[in-house]
Amino acid sequence: MSNSELDIEFFEAVGRVNNSTNAFPADFLLRLYAYYKKATNNYDKPSSRRPIINAFKMNALLQTRNISPDGAKKEYIDLVNSYFEAQ
């Protein structure tokens, strides 16, 4: 899969999540958050008003530290596909 194909598939998966009316489980959302941040090279710190939410987000981000941006895109796509296939 070329980078442009991967980018297209990644942004389609992002759109699928954004357009869904499902109430996603918290652990699923944290993994999506971390993979998305890594895939888009967004290294801003979590900025929730609730410190506990920031702690969970930071933990999720730390778990992606050894994944490349392209690897994070693939993980994001796989996670979204698995979730929606199970529905």
Query: What would the pLDDT profile of 32-63 be if each residue is shown by its tens digit?
Result: 999 999 999 998 889 889 999 999 999 999 99
**Cβ atoms within 10 Å, residue 38:** 24
pLDDT category at 26 given cuts 50, 70, 90 is: very high
pLDDT of residue 86: 86
**Whole-angstrom distance, CA of residue 16 vs CA of residue 75:** 15
Write out the two tokens for 36.
Answer: 């998305």
Per the model's pLDDT, the better-predicted residue between 76 and 22 turns out to be 76
Maximal CA-CA distance, the chain: 39
pLDDT tens-place string over residues 70-87: 999 999 999 999 999 987
* pLDDT greater than 80 at residue 30: yes
Domains assigned to the chain: 3-86 (1.20.80.10)
pTM score, whole prediction: 0.92
Provide the Cα torsion 78, 79, 84, 87; round to 10°.
Answer: 130
Q: Is 72 exposed, middle or buried (0-12, 13-18, 19+ CB in 10 A)?
A: buried
